[in-house]
Amino acid sequence: MNNEQLWQAILGEIEVAVSRASFTTWFKQTFIGSFENGNIVICVPNVFTKAWLEKKYHTELINAFKNITKEPVIKIIYKIETKKEDPTAQVISYKKDKEKNEESGHQEIVSGFNFKPSTLNKFGLNTKYTFDSFIVGKNNKLAHAAALAVGKNPGVAYNPLVIYGGVGLGKTHLLQAIGNELSKKTDKILYVTSEKFTNDYINEVKSGRAKFLKDKYRNVDLLLIDDIQFLGGKDGTQEEFFHTFNELHQANKQIVVTCDRPLKTIPALEERLLSRLEWGMVADITLPDFETRIAILQNKCHERNYLMPEKIINYLAQNIQTNIRELEGALTKLITYFEFNDLSPDINVIRELLSDNLVSTQATQIGPLHIIEATGKYYNILSKDILGQSRKKELVKSRQIVMYLLREEVQLSFPSIGQELGNRDHTTVMHACRKIKQELEKNEKLLQEIESIKQIFKNI
């Protein structure tokens, strides 16, 4: 049995034990990363699923493994990892599922009751990526204005338009919004990723069908190319793009591209292509500020007709700062979870569910560093000694207190706490937390010490 077959068998066991709907929600896109000597790595698509499997399905998974492999299970680790696949695959596979379900007259809940799947139109554009659904903030004002202008006056306003910025900040959304806008006026729209362009080029060279690319790319009113950073170093493809560019540009056809970094920093991008790309308008998208993040979340709730308390929106906006895709993802998961379990939104549940990825990375939030520092300050010892290996009595004690606080105050998982404290095993952490808890019941002095430490880190 290979890992894939094993996983199918395990899922078969789990499937009978849980509801169909939660099965689909939590086990979609999971797979076995490795299975060796009783150590299992289960790959999951996101932190939310990780927390959920750890919390709710750990025992079931262990039992299922034991049942099927007849081997003892030593450890299961949940790792966030997705199989590399076409970015549109998710949308497409959802569509396929949906078609299947419709054929069989069976409506399956995939995630959330009000969930509206993204659909791709005939140009391959996501119909949700419009100007209307795009929130304008300081970070994307220029790019948005330029995109709007291009949507109104293609080939005239800015040609080409280059939108660049970090991952998950809305480049593809804006690029496709232009496409969606212009699709009202013309049918000659082509949207591709630079990988697709590269593949087309390679296939043409291989097959010797010289006119294929020309027909496809040089005969459009609007050419949208996503993520052109991948053209770096591909000389033949760049040359082809260069000629395509020239021809379209001369004919006043609009070209819009996105890039995940400034053009000049794309390695091995030909100078002449670089200078062409700089002819028109180069606009960047930077990190959204707090208000913009709030507005995006509110808009998303509004779209889904979901009333989310302000406190939760603020919490998410405070904690996920650098990637709008992640911000949206977290919100969607929460809505799904609350709707699914018929619960009203509760901030405490959220902290628990999202603690792994939120709190530990946040400087503004109480995190491991604050707690280590505060404990060190109180006992007058150095942070590095708390993290170190020494078994000196006072160091062991402060280390255990840090573990306890990370568990109680930050709700980190035992393995994460172990990691934060110099890669210690999670059983050590569990032992420490239990020990401090017991000690607190009878030791008034310890209780006060811990209260004082809390005061310190809350004020750091």
Q: Which residues bind ligand ADP (CB under 6 A)?
A: 129, 133-135, 140, 165, 167-173, 296, 324-325, 328
Which residues fall within 8 angstroms of residue 271, CB to CB, at 6 or more apart? none
Considering CB distances under 5 to 8 angstroms, the limit depending on partner class, which of ligand ADP, Mg ion, none binds residue 140? ligand ADP
Strands 254-259, 161-165: pairing is parallel
Compare residues 172 and 375 and give the one whose CB is closer to Mg ion.
172
**Least Å from the CB of residue 156 to ligand ADP:** 25
Compare residues 149 and 446 and give the one whose CB is closer to ligand ADP.
149
Are the CB atoms for 125 and 176 separated by under 8 Å? yes
For every residue of 88-142, DSSP letters joined together read THHHHHHHHHHHHHHHTT-----S-TT-----B-TTS-BTT-SSTTPPP-TTTHH
Considering CB distances under 5 to 8 angstroms, the limit depending on partner class, which of Mg ion, ligand ADP, none binds residue 433? none
Considering CB distances under 5 to 8 angstroms, the limit depending on partner class, which of Mg ion, ligand ADP, none binds residue 324? ligand ADP
What residues are paired with 191 via a beta bridge?
224
**Least Å from the CB of residue 176 to ligand ADP:** 8
**Least Å from the CB of residue 224 to Mg ion:** 11
Q: How many residues line the site for Mg ion (CB under 5 A)?
A: 2
**Least Å from the CB of residue 31 to ligand ADP:** 24
Compare residues 265 and 427 and give the one whose CB is closer to Mg ion.
265
Q: Give the sign of the dihedral formed by CA 421, CA 424, CA 426, CA 427.
A: negative
Tokens for 327?
A: 């911000």
Q: What is the CA radius of gyration of the chain?
A: 26
Q: Which residue is nearest to ligand ADP (CB)?
A: 170
Compare residues 170 and 345 and give the one whose CB is closer to ligand ADP.
170
CB atoms within 10 A of CB 58: 12
Q: What's the rounded Cα separation, in Å, for the pair 259 and 230?
A: 9
**Least Å from the CB of residue 188 to ligand ADP:** 23
**Least Å from the CB of residue 173 to Mg ion:** 8
Compare residues 308 and 406 and give the one whose CB is closer to ligand ADP.
308
**Least Å from the CB of residue 118 to ligand ADP:** 8
Tokens for 56?
A: 């709710």
Alpha-carbon torsion, ordered 353, 354, 360, 361, to 10 deg: 180
What residues are paired with 165 via a beta bridge?
285
Compare residues 78 and 134 and give the one whose CB is closer to ligand ADP.
134
Q: Going residue by residue from 163 to 202, which x/- string records binding to Mg ion, judged by CB under 5 A?
A: --------xx------------------------------
CA atoms within 13 A on the CB side of 412: 29
Q: What's the rounded Cα separation, in Å, for the pair 288 and 11?
A: 40
Considering CB distances under 5 to 8 angstroms, the limit depending on partner class, which of ligand ADP, Mg ion, none binds residue 168? ligand ADP
Judged by the rule CB under 5 A, the positions of this chain that interact with Mg ion are 171-172
